[in-house]
Amino acid sequence: MKILLFALVIVIQISSIDYLFSMLQIDKNTRVVYETEIEAGIAEVWQAFTTKAGLQSWMAPLVEINLIVGGKIKTDYDPEGTIGDENTIENTILAYVPGKMISLKATRFPPSFSYQEIPEDPWTVFYFEEITPTKTNIMVVGLGYTQKNKSQQLNQLFFDANKQALDKLKYTLAKGNPPENLDNKIEFSFPKLHQITGQQQMKTINKEQNEVYRLTFHDPGFTNGIIILLEKCPKQIKLSSWKVNLPLYYKNHDSAILKKEKYILEKEWADLITKLDKLDFWNYKSSKKIGFDGSFWILEGALKEKYHKIEEWSPNKDSFLNLCYFILGLADLGYGRSKNLEEQ
């Protein structure tokens, strides 16, 4: 263990990450590097990574951490859950140097996670460097990947998740000064889906001043992102849906995007409006709760000159989630949780 810690200290002193990996004979194609700057001092950033209160402020509502080599960071993204239940995610601390670096390996996932049996042993190292007393650079290095298809899919999944998580950390530590792209929350929470499927702004879709609703859903634990667009036209009600397999998309696979179009019944539309009214959609305020991983939902609506958007992270079993599941059920995309939560 002393040898390992000595090696990690040497890592921190080497300015060129590529030079370091060449020394250690680590193939550039088997690791991924991401860097970002946080508007906070290094002590504050370290606390956000390594204390229960710090992690709860940006990562998950339920957290346990034992900051020792071999210790665990356990998180649960369901506020009504408990640490240790089936939805608990576990990361093992491989090594750390206070205020400098921490190395983690994911060692437990929820049953819904698509990569339960990971053929390789990837791990992640976070490096922290003070730029100024109020600004910190974070470099994230993912290691242990291979050129196998499943390993590269997992590589991309973790890269996106880490990038998204650090964006949330920026927002949390900004103390009222969120990142510039926060006003466009579709880019903040769904950096790829709308771009991939060629989605337009709602005011463009609603140029005929019809009633239009759009649901966007993504859960990094599943590999699919889903978009459902409902348009109430004078003579018919059109439903367009897109299911995006993100790992296949990153591989430029032709089957990455599945698009469907159908028409729904007036009764189905009436049921939708009833659920929107129950939610008080046009006055509903997003909770602004955010965290690491979990599921992300945006519901937008446009009617004549009105536009409203709700964005939620891992919503509880309430009228909003019930409405979203109802829309997923209308699209008939084979998403297994399309059900009426009021019946539970």
Give all domains of the chain, ordered by start, each with its CATH number: 2-177 (3.30.530.20), 202-343 (3.30.1560)
Question: Looking at residues 41-58, what average pLDDT do you find?
Answer: 93
Which whole number is the average pLDDT over 46-59?
A: 92
- pLDDT tens, position by position, 293-322: 567 889 999 988 889 999 887 776 678 988
Predicted model pTM: 0.56
Which of 201, 200, 189 shows the shortest CA–CA distance to 225? 189
Supply the pLDDT for residue 208.
67
pLDDT classification of 190: cutoffs 50, 70, 90:
low
DSSP per residue, 192-258: THHHHTTPPPHHHHTTT--EEEEEEEE-TTSSEEEEEEEEE-SS-EEEEEEEEEHHHHHTT-GGGEE
Please give the Cα distance from 48 to 58 (Å, whole number): 8
Distance separating alpha carbons of residues 95 and 69, to the nearest angstrom? 5
What is the pLDDT at residue 213?
Answer: 95
Give the integer Cα–Cα distance in Å for 248 and 145: 17
Phi–psi pair at 212, nearest 5 degrees:
-135, 140
Question: Is residue 233 scored above 90 in pLDDT?
Answer: no
- 224-231 average pLDDT score: 88
Query: In this structure, are residues 317 and 337 in contact, taking their beta carbons and an 8 Å threshold?
Result: no
* Average pLDDT rounded to a whole number, residues 195-203: 78
Lowest mean pLDDT among 15-24, 64-73, 268-277, 302-311: 15-24
Q: pLDDT class for 139, splitting at 50, 70, 90? A: very high
Residue 222 has pLDDT above 60, yes or no: no
Most confident of the ranges 16-25, 70-79, 157-166, 253-262: 70-79
Q: How confident is the model at residue 193 (pLDDT cuts 50, 70, 90)?
A: confident
Mean pLDDT of the chain: 77
- The predicted structure's pLDDT at residue 248: 57
- Tell me the per-residue pLDDT of 57-97, one tens digit each, with 9 for 90 and over: 888 888 999 999 999 999 987 776 789 988 788 999 999 99
Give long-range contacts, CB 8 A cutoff, 24+ apart: 170-174. Answer: 170/36, 170/38, 170/39, 171/58, 171/290, 172/48, 172/57, 172/58, 172/290, 173/38, 173/39, 173/40, 173/44, 173/45, 173/48, 173/58, 174/39
Per-residue pLDDT, 108: 86
